[in-house]
Amino acid sequence: MRFFVLFTLGLASAFPSLSTAHTLFTTLFVNDVNQGDGTCVRMPKVSSTCTSPITDLDSPDMACGRDGQHAVGFTCLAAAGDKLTFEFRAWADASQPGVIDSSHLGSAAIYLKPVSNMTTSSAAGPNWFKIYAEGYDENMRKWATEKLIDNHGLLSINLPVGLPTGYYLVRTEILALQNVSQDGYVDPQFYVNCAQLFIEGSSTSDTLTIPTGMEASIPGHVTANHPGLTFNIYQDDPLTTPYEVVGPAAFFSTSASTIATTGKSYAKNYHQQDRQPAQAEGLIPPACLVKNANWCASLPPRYTDEATCWASSADCFRQAEKCYASAPPTGCRGCRVWERDMCGAIQQGCRSGLWQGPPADLAANVEKVEVDVPVPGGGKIPGAGNADVSWGREGGGGERGGVDLGSKKAVMAVVFGSPTATAISGCCGKSRKRRRRLA
**Number of helices (H), then strands (E), in the chain:** 7, 17
298 CB-near residues (< 8 Å, 6+ apart): 285, 287, 288, 289, 319
Torsion of CA 330, 196, 112, 415, to 10 degrees: -90
When the pLDDT of each residue in the chain is averaged and rounded to a whole number, the result is 81
Contact 67, 42 (CB under 8 A): yes
Parse the chain into domains and list their residue ranges.
20-282+375-379, 290-367
Alpha helices (H) in 219-292, listed in sequence order: 227-230
- Distance CA(26)–CA(429), nearest Å, equals 19
CA atoms within 13 A on the CB side of 195: 30
What is the Cα gyration radius of the chain? 23
Contact 41, 25 (CB under 8 A): yes
175 has pLDDT over 70: yes
Residue 19's pLDDT band, with cuts at 50, 70 and 90, is: very low
Question: What is the separation of C-alpha 15 from the centre of its chain, rounded to a whole number of angstroms?
Answer: 28
Specify the 3-state DSSP secondary structure of 346: helix
Contact 54, 61 (CB under 8 A): yes
Contact 327, 295 (CB under 8 A): yes
120 CB-near residues (< 8 Å, 6+ apart): none
Q: How do strand 106-115 and strand 166-176 relate by DSSP bridges?
A: antiparallel
- Distance CA(402)–CA(380), nearest Å, equals 28
Span of 149-153, 173-177, 374-378, 420-424 with lowest mean pLDDT: 420-424
Residue 6's pLDDT band, with cuts at 50, 70 and 90, is: very low
pLDDT, tens digit (0-9, with 9 covering 90-100), for 385-395: 987 653 222 22
256 has pLDDT over 90: no
- Between residues 256 and 87, the one the model is more confident about: 87
pLDDT, tens digit (0-9, with 9 covering 90-100), for 121-168: 999 999 999 999 999 999 999 999 999 999 999 999 999 998 999 999
41 strand-pairing partners:
195
Question: Per CATH, which fold does 20-282+375-379 belong to?
Answer: Coagulation Factor XIII; Chain A, domain 1 (2.70.50)
- Distance CA(215)–CA(264), nearest Å, equals 8
pTM above 0.85, yes or no: no
- One-letter amino acid of 383: G
175 strand-pairing partners:
107, 190
